Amino acid sequence: MNDNTTPLSANEYDAEINKTIPFYSTFYEQTIDVITQCNFPSIHWLDLGCGTGALEERALSYFPTASFVLVDPSEKMLDQAKNKLAAYDFKYICGKSTDISFDEEFEVVTAIQSHHYMSAEERECAVKKVFHALKKDGIFVCFENVVPSDETIKKSELLRWGRYQQRQGKTAEEALAHNARCGVSYFPLTVDEHIKLLKKTGFHAVHVFWVSYMQMGIYAIK
């Protein structure tokens, strides 16, 4: 069994993720750019499903005084993050986004490719917890796998994503096996369902700022 919900083990994650998800490193750059635009005087930042801490490593060059709380249900992923960020005194929580309980503490909450592992009920609970954790005018930035509502387009986009993976060196069988995880190992929403859920939870402004292949970047302001 793997040591986290992704098909990659924690120690191979950083090297392999770009071969699986197109533009992955751009997700971090775009997330940092969106947060830069907010102009917060100081940043207390909650990262849900932090994985190996790769986002923090990059974000610290832009926000050197930011203080992070890193959450992930995988001990192995958290170990990688602790190792990478050993020079900093950050807080680590081994748990799911549905386990957190914060009240208006953060300027920023991020969930980068980590919330599509939840069921519809868990996701709704997690988004409510994010809303509570944010201060007023705080921002939730999220990247996730999404699914087109049209079945024909969904099939076609999965094949297109598979071709990307093959160009990065996966075999046709490996690419097919990865794409068979859609709706089985992870549970993507459509873009419209995301917007609806965020607005229903109480966020007053919601904006989709990135879409590529079957991934989306969305932010919501409390």
Ligand X SMILES: C[S@@+](CC[C@H](N)C(=O)[O-])C[C@H]1O[C@@H](n2cnc3c(N)ncnc32)[C@H](O)[C@@H]1O
Q: What are the residues binding ligand X (CB under 6 A)?
A: 4-6, 48-51, 54-55, 72-74, 77, 96-97, 112-114, 117-118
Question: Could you tell me the two tokens for 145?
Answer: 């796998």
**In the complex, which residue's CB is closest to ligand X?**
51
Nearest Cα neighbor of 164 from 18, 62, 46 is 18
Q: Which is nearer to ligand X, 114 or 165 (CB)?
A: 114
Determine which helix (DSSP H) or strand (DSSP E) holds 135, and give its type and residue range.
strand 134-145
Least Cβ distance, residue 139 to ligand X (angstroms): 16
Q: Which is nearer to ligand X, 97 or 138 (CB)?
A: 97
Q: Which is nearer to ligand X, 39 or 126 (CB)?
A: 126
Least Cβ distance, residue 29 to ligand X (angstroms): 12
Spell 13-39 as b/e; 16+ CB within 10 A means b.
Answer: bbebbebbbbbbeebbebbbebbeeee
Least Cβ distance, residue 74 to ligand X (angstroms): 4
Q: Which is nearer to ligand X, 90 or 117 (CB)?
A: 117
First to last CA, the chain: 38
